[in-house]
Structures are given as C-alpha cells and as structure tokens.
Chain A
Amino acid sequence: MEDKKNLIRMADKIQEALIKLKHGRYLELIRQLTSFAGKLQELTAESRKMGASLVKGWFSAAERCCKGVNRLLSDIPHSVSRIQQLTDVPQKEIPKLSSLVDELNQVQQEFGSLELDNAESTISVITEPITLDDVYLGPFRIQLELKKFSELYTTSPYCVIALEPNPAATDEEVTHPHVSGNKLCEGDGCVTIRTALEQGRLCDFFTMVRSILNTYNPDSPYVALYDWNGEPCYDCGYVMSREDTYYCYSCEHDFCSQCSTYCRFCEETVCLGCSAECPHCEEMVCQKCIRRCTECEELCCKSCLEENVCPNCKEEMEKENEEQECKISETNQNGNPSQSETGETQIKLAS
C-alpha cells in the first residue's frame, strides 16, 4: 500500500495535469476560433473584390473570387466541427485534492496494488493474468503518464505493457488482440475513457482499460485469437497468419508464399515439392499436369508433349525420319534418275 504522503503528492500532480489539460483545451479553442474568424474575414475580402470587379466589368476577376470563396467554404465545416467538439461538453470543475486521493485509494482497493513513480510522474496498476479464448496473454501493466496528460486530445497518455508477453506469432508488437506497440485500441471505450480522464476519475479509467483487456472483439483485432500462434510453413517452418498460407492440394499441407506456386495449366496451388518446372517451356506444373516422354522418360508439361513425346525426342525423331527419307530418296535416285531430273527442274522453277 502506498503511504498517504505519496498519495497526496501524486494527487497534487494529477491536479496540476488536469489544470494544464483544461488550459490546453481553452488554448486550442482560441486557436480554432481565431482561424475560423480569419476565414470569415477572407470571405468578406473576396466579396469586396468581387463587387469591385463587377463594377469594372472584369468577369474573369470575379470568377477568380468565386473560386477563392469556394475554397474558403470547403474549409469551414472542419473548423466548425472541431470548435463544436471542444465546446460540446461543459467542463466539470477540477476535482479537489481530497477527491483525487480518494480516487487513488479506490484504485488500490480495486486492483490490490498501485505503483506511483513521482520522478517519472506515472501511476500504474497491474491486472490479473488475462486469458482470452484459451490464449494466455498474462498480466498487463496499465501505466498512466501524467506528463502526457495535456496531450489527451491528440494522443493517448497511457500505455499497456504485457508483463509476461505472449505476442502474436506474426507480430511481436501485438501482445493482446487490441494492443499494439503498448497502445490500446479503445474501440467502444474511447469516449468514456477520455471523459473519465478529463474529470480525474482515475479508478473509472483503470477499470475501463481493464474491461477492454478482458474482452475480445473478434470483429476488429490486430491479430485474431484463432490465428494467435500462426501457422508454420510445412517446408521452411516460417510462421505466418492463416490468411497468408497456401494449401497444397497434392500433399495436403500449408506452405508459405516462397515455398508454393501454382500450376500454369490447372491453376491449382501446389508446393514446390509437388510441382516441377517443365524443362522446355520453363513453366511450373503440378503432378496432375506433368507427363513423361515415352521416348526418354523426361518429365514435361502436357502442352510441350506431342503425341507423348518431348520436343527434344520429337526433333531427334524428325531428324531420323528425314535421314531415312534422304536414304530412301538416294536409293530411288540411283534406281530412277529421271525423277531427279524432274526435281531439279522444279527447284529451278521455284527459284
């Protein structure tokens, strides 16, 4: 248990941070209002210029003014919405020191412990070990950083650190389906967490963060729990998410993109072990679409085979046929010279 002096010292720091936050909010509001007023002034100036252009009959100048007005008008909705956001919720009074001490005491009661680091201005609690859908994620430290409190509207002033990290196999930064790089994606809790911090309700803040950590939203995780441990490639062992696996229909295992390919004929996904490169067209072919040449028994894709013979054997066979034909024709020439004469005449005619 933290001693009372420490609690008061920290409560004082929280109060200081809340004052800074409130101050920062008004400063931001002034900045936004100044920018908005500037835009209105620019519109007035454009209107004046447009009037002067019309008096002189300068329509092209008036048209330029129209474009300027259009550009200014398109900026206005964003400014209005930002101002509305800042003025929407009336600000509560900054809690008294005693109330902030009560908050810290309540945090101690709810979590069993509370860690105050006066030097770093951090307040931390540790959750019970968390298991979601049978995946053990371990305990988490929820650490509120008072130095970042004034940046509440632009960044998250707290972090969620896994104390016994069991990160997703595919991303070491993801220690919880909704935590990446020690930052929690608050989802439904976003507004309530911010409101609790704005009002100095620290216990509500810590319990809500814990509630998010204890809940799994399967619709929007960084890494889904069913995929937490990933899927190893059957060949090289590389661990990937299930979505990135390639199933080989032939050996019926999962592979990574480096260890798989697809058959250029049937377009089925196969692993490198169940496919071969056709030595002639150099395309990858699966076992179903690969054939053996009946002459040399070399593996070859269906399209390179002609009458079950590979192109090399086909060429050889054609050469042999030609040679045989030559021999036959030579034999014929010796036996029937008149035919040769006729042939020569034909060649001469053709040339």
Chain B
Amino acid sequence: MSAQHTTHAHGAHDHGGHDDHHGDAEPHSSLRDYTIGFVLSVILTAIPFWLVMAKVIADRNTAVLVLGGFAVIQILVHMVYFLHMNGKVEGGWTMLSTIFTVVFVAIAIAGTLWVMFHMNANMMPEHPTPTPATHEAPGHSTP
C-alpha cells in the first residue's frame, strides 16, 4: 500500500516535469559521483596520514602548509561529489551562502590567529617611562 502511494507521488515528478516545486527537487546523485568522490577522499586522506606517520617532511612549516593544502582539496572534493555543489543549485543561492561562509570562516580563523600571536609585539611598552604607580610603590612597600 505504501509502495503504491510512493510510485504515484513520484510519477508526476518523473514524467510530467511540470511540477517544479515538488518536495523531491534535489539534484540527482549518481553512483559515478559517489565513487569518484570516495576514491579521491581515500587518496587525499591516506597521503597526509602517511606524510606525518612516516615523518616524510622534516620542516614543520612546510608540513603544515602541505597538510592544509590536502585538507582544502579534500573539502572541495566532498563539496562537489558528496554534497553535489555547483553554481546552479537553488539558483546560485547555495553557492553564494557558501562563499559568504568561507570568507567569514577565513577572516575569523586567520584574524584570530594573527591577532593572538602578535599580542606580545603589539602590547603597550612597559619599561621606558616611569608611571605614577612606580612613584607610589615605595610608600606602600615600606612598613
């Protein structure tokens, strides 16, 4: 009974094509997409793990850059092959909101790290001028 209902509900969508905003208007995925995505992901996961576990790259900064590069590529692979991203989904709104998020995330993370790791250099200098506090200090310290 429920199977019949299902076939009926989707029949209009498959054959008519006139019913644009049917509940099932998602982009259709294919086995090919998932397979390509999976194989690429396995490769893009295995290489960074191997690089670190076998200690291939000696220089830490180079290693961080390479690992970050692999992560970005794998995230793109997931977006395209698993989440079926392209510029046409939802009239481009999905892409637009994603670009906004990427920009926001980049500013939030890069900005935080930049500010926090330059805190010491950007602090107000403490030594050069004697402040009123140092004038009062002897009075307080002597009992």
Query: Is B a genuine binding partner of A?
Result: no
